[in-house]
């Protein structure tokens, strides 16, 4: 199989085309939402939401089969988003709140799944996704879920960034923190919903976190973070699907698609980190420590 | 609103945090271009008063009129909070921070246009930071950041500017720059209320003084209000700086 077949030809197959379409849209949206997750430091809340979605998926599957996945997950995610927002606001430290929601809901999900006939198979699909077996009728709901999250975040983007930078100032300027938090957490939840049925509840976090973190490595320019994160997401999704297909078909090694996509996301992050470290070394002549939330003044751009 | 109409009127007003501290008995009228110093010791309710005018702390007694209405219109009040600790690594430039002052006027969906960029440029010029517009906010010195936040407050084109302890931690150069800015704004007709426990500052740039310590002790022209007796009542047992001397105000004797 040629490289061209792997990168382009493969997506002529209907199931690969569907996987690409859903994953591209999802990754772009997750990248944009993920920049706000990064700026607000909401990684752990996002993790909590991925777990909160799990019982929704399980109940949805039990009630309506695979068609019940998206509605079930959406309901669970929105409940989780509201609860987490209110918990954090009520002064429960967010880590404790998330841990409570996370373990409680995950156990509910496992109990529901364990009642089904094909326990192991169902559990695996929910945890690790089914990106290559997205049914044609599931494409539109997944795209709609992603796009609702995109619109919600786009409509409040200026205010979200303001709040991320200076919550007090944003409140003094008349913005409602609770409303903004609900919109952002609900958007994260919707991304998690769409991601859970494609790459699985355990791996969707990578789609949310990695592009935003990569963008922070690449630029200190606020409004460039969003297109860069979207591009990182889109390219990683495409290369990940292509790589999974190429290795599985060309080399006969059966790679799970969702995990391969996530591996490529992380590889792109590692590459950008390496570039960043080399650039820092060249501009400063000495190594600089680069954490997950990098100091940007070493970047040599203005 | 005409020029002669006051920007702010408080009549027997009291602001109180739900279930918390408050400040009472406020009677104050602020005209366009007038600067009022709110003076009192720490915990006297100076910040509560400013936040009350902003609408962040509820008015529990009396009446307030802002620009002739019960609530301030969007962008009418500019606010400079006490030096807030912001993440120095946040990827945002000074001009982007100042642009946040326009957001209230822009609303949710509109993005900044040419006029907004002009206002931001003007605000940066007013505080003397035009050459730093594209610098990352976290790279600026503390005093420059404070002036940057003032530019953000100005970007909403306020008729009333609230400054909460703006001189805390400023070096002499930044202090002078801020005083110049306050004078410039007054000459443009912006009304200013500045909370401070720096009596010297009040004498330098303010027309009148509001003395508070939980409730209003006095209000009026600087020299009328900053009397020894009033200051004793307000600052009893508190250290104050007057003309670069630190003194501990004694209590009332024989009262």
Type and span of the H or E element at A230: helix A222-245
Confidence of residue A161 (pLDDT cuts 50, 70, 90): very high
Predicted pLDDT at B244: 63
DSSP B238: -
Cα(B177)–Cα(A277) distance, integer angstroms = 39
Q: Which of B111, B136, B152 sits opposite A297 (nearest CB)?
A: B136
User: Which chain A residue has its CA at the smallest distance from B75's CA?
Assistant: A173
Residue A207 or residue A126, greater confidence: A207
Contacts of A225 in chain B (CB under 8 A): 91
Of A50-64, A153-167, A253-267, the range with the lowest mean pLDDT is A50-64
Q: What is the 3-state secondary structure (H, E, C) of A173-205?
A: CCCCHHHHHHHHHHHHHHHHHHHHCCCCCCCHH
**DSSP bridge pairs for B248:** B239
Contacts of B101 in chain A (CB under 8 A): 173
Cα(A264)–Cα(A259) distance, integer angstroms = 9
Contacts of B135 in chain A (CB under 8 A): 302
* Model pTM above 0.80: yes
Residue range A163-174: average pLDDT?
90
Contact status, residue A297 vs residue A237, Cβ threshold 8 Å: no
Confidence of residue A93 (pLDDT cuts 50, 70, 90): low
Residue A298 has pLDDT above 50, yes or no: no
Residue A134, classed as helix, strand or coil, is: coil
Of A19-28, A134-143, A226-235, the range with the lowest mean pLDDT is A134-143
Contacts of A170 in chain B (CB under 8 A): 100
Residue range A229-257: average pLDDT?
91
* C-beta atoms of B91 and A222 within 8 A: yes
Contact status, residue A192 vs residue A50, Cβ threshold 8 Å: yes
Average pLDDT, chain A: 86
Residue A294 has pLDDT above 60, yes or no: no
Confidence of residue A165 (pLDDT cuts 50, 70, 90): very high
DSSP string, B112-164: --HHHHHHHHHHHHHTT-GGGTTSBGGGS-HHHHHHHHHHHHHHT--SEEEEE
Cα(A182)–Cα(A193) distance, integer angstroms = 16
Cα(A299)–Cα(A211) distance, integer angstroms = 18
Cα(A289)–Cα(A286) distance, integer angstroms = 10
Predicted pLDDT at B242: 61
* C-beta atoms of A166 and B100 within 8 A: yes
Of A31-35, A55-59, A102-106, B114-118, the range with the lowest mean pLDDT is A102-106
Confidence of residue A53 (pLDDT cuts 50, 70, 90): confident
* Selection from A216, A264, A270, A208 nearest residue A241 by Cα: A264
Predicted pLDDT at B172: 87
Predicted pLDDT at A295: 41
Q: Where are the alpha helices (DSSP H) in chain B?
A: 46-54, 94-99, 103-106, 114-126, 142-155, 172-187, 199-205, 222-225, 228-235
Q: What are phi and psi of A34, to 5 degrees?
A: -65, -30
Predicted pLDDT at B230: 83
Confidence of residue A287 (pLDDT cuts 50, 70, 90): very low
Residue range A89-113: average pLDDT?
78
Q: How many helices (H) and strands (E) does chain B have?
A: 9, 11
Cα(A56)–Cα(A140) distance, integer angstroms = 19
Angle, CA of B139, B143 and B145, to the nearest 5°: 50
Q: What is the 3-state secondary structure (H, E, C) of A159-174?
A: HHHHHHHCHHHHHHCC
Is B56 at the interface with chain A, CB within 8 A? yes
In CATH, the architecture of A3-283 is Orthogonal Bundle (1.10)
Q: How far is B36 from chain A (nearest CA, A)?
A: 20
Question: Hunting for tokens 């990248």 — which residue is that?
Answer: A31
Is A302 at the interface with chain B, CB within 8 A? yes
* Selection from A242, A247, A239, A245 nearest residue A264 by Cα: A239
User: Which chain A residue has its CA at the smallest distance from B51's CA?
Assistant: A172
Q: How far is B226 from chain A (nearest CA, A)?
A: 31
* C-beta atoms of A222 and B93 within 8 A: yes
Q: What is the mean pLDDT of each run of 10 residues along chain B (255 residues)?
A: 77 89 92 93 89 91 88 84 83 96 90 95 94 94 90 93 87 87 92 87 88 89 82 74 63 49
Confidence of residue A46 (pLDDT cuts 50, 70, 90): confident
Residue B83 or residue A157, greater confidence: A157
Contacts of B139 in chain A (CB under 8 A): 297
Residue range A159-181: average pLDDT?
91
Domain boundaries, given as residue ranges, for chain B: 1-76+158-255, 87-157
DSSP A12: G
Residue range A134-155: average pLDDT?
93
Size of interface A-B (CB pairs under 8 A): 75
Cα(A213)–Cα(A39) distance, integer angstroms = 9
Cα(B92)–Cα(B137) distance, integer angstroms = 6
Contacts of A168 in chain B (CB under 8 A): 81, 84
Is B17 at the interface with chain A, CB within 8 A? no
Query: Is the CATH number 3.40.50.300 carried by domain B1-76+158-255?
Result: yes
């Amino acid at each position: 199989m040629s490289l061209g077949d792997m990168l382009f030809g493969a997506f002529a197959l209907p199931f690969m085309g569907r996987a690409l379409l859903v994953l591209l849209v999802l990754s772009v949206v997750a990248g944009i939402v993920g920049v706000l997750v990064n700026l607000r430091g909401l990684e752990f809340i996002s993790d909590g939401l991925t777990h909160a979605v799990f019982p929704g998926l399980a109940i949805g599957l039990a009630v309506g089969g695979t068609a019940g996945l998206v509605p079930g997950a959406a309901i669970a995610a929105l409940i989780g988003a509201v609860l987490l927002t209110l918990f954090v606001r009520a002064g429960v430290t967010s880590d404790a709140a998330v841990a409570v929601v996370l373990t409680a809901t995950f156990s509910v999900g496992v109990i529901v799944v364990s009642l089904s006939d094909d326990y192991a198979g169902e559990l695996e699909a929910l945890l690790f996704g089914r990106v290559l077996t997205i049914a044609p009728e599931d494409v539109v709901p997944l795209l709609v879920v992603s796009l609702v999250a995109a619109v919600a975040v786009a409509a409040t983007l200026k205010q979200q960034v303001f709040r991320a930078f200076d919550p007090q100032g944003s409140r003094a300027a008349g913005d409602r923190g609770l409303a903004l938090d609900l919109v952002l957490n609900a958007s994260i939840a919707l991304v998690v919903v769409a991601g859970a049925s494609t790459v699985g509840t355990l791996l969707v976090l990578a789609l949310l976190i990695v592009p935003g973190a990569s963008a922070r490595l690449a630029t200190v320019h606020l409004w460039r973070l969003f297109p860069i994160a979207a591009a990182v997401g889109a390219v990683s999704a495409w290369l990940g699907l292509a790589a999974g297909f190429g290795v599985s078909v060309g080399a006969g090694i059966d790679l799970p698609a969702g995990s391969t996509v996530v591996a490529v996301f992380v590889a792109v992050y590692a590459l950008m980190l390496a570039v960043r470290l080399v650039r820092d070394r060249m501009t400063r002549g000495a190594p600089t420590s680069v954490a997950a939330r990098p100091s940007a003044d070493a970047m040599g751009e203005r | 609103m005409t020029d002669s109409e006051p920007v702010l009127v408080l009549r027997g007003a009291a602001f109180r945090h739900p279930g918390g501290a408050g400040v009472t008995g406020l009677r104050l009228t602020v005209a366009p271009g007038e600067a009022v110093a709110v003076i009192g010791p720490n915990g006297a309710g100076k910040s509560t008063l400013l936040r009350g005018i902003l609408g962040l702390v509820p008015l529990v007694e009396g009446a307030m009129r802002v620009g002739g209405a019960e609530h301030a219109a969007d962008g009418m009040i500019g606010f400079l909070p006490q030096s807030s600790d912001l993440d120095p690594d946040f990827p945002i430039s000074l001009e982007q921070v100042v642009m946040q002052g326009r957001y209230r006027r822009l609303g949710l969906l509109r993005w900044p246009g040419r006029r907004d960029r002009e206002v931001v440029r003007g605000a940066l010029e007013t505080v003397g930071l035009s050459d730093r517009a594209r610098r990352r906010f976290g790279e600026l010195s503390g005093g420059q950041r404070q002036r940057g936040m003032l530019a953000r407050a100005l970007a909403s084109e306020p008729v009333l500017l609230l400054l909460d302890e703006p001189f805390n931690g400023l070096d002499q150069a930044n202090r002078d720059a801020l005083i110049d800015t306050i004078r410039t704004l007054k000459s443009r007709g912006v009304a200013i209320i500045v909370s401070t426990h720096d009596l010297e500052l009040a004498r330098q740039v303010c027309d009148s003084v509001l003395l508070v310590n939980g409730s209003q002790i006095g209000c009026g022209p600087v020299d009328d209000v900053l009397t020894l007796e009033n200051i004793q009542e307000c600052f009893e047992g508190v250290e104050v700086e007057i003309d670069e001397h630190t003194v501990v105000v004694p209590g009332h004797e024989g009262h």
